[in-house]
Amino acid sequence: MRVTYSERTRQAEELFRLAQAATDQLEQVLGPSAELVDAEWDRAGGAANGDGLALTLRDLTGEARAFFSPCDLKNPSRVSINLHRLWGDLLQARSHKQLQELLSTG
């Protein structure tokens, strides 16, 4: 898996450290599929949801994105749940694309 941390993420030391820990969990969630996925962390947030990080997962078929608040990132169980949900979103996008390709050729 290729992981990218934006400069804005690296500048926020605590968020950067939390993103690195979450990336270790992400590798476990993805398992052997990790080599097919790119991950990008970027600092995000606004007045409504505060400062945090957005994680985008990409593969050849699409992408999925999730927001992680600092509270989320400090709770390993919550990180795991959100990573599994994000991985599921990417797999669903992949399935939809493959189904469209099958329907257009059949």
**Average pLDDT of every residue of the chain:** 93
pLDDT number for residue 70: 95
| Domain with 63 in it | 2-105
CA atoms within 13 A on the CB side of 94: 13
The whole-angstrom separation of Cα 66 and Cα 56 is 7
In this prediction, residue 47 has a pLDDT band, given cuts at 50, 70 and 90, of very low
pLDDT at 48 over 90: no
The count of structural domains within the chain is 1
13: enclosing H helix or E strand? helix 13-30
CATH number at residue 34: 3.30.160
Tens of pLDDT, residue by residue over 70-88, are: 999 999 999 999 999 999 9
The whole-angstrom separation of Cα 55 and Cα 21 is 13
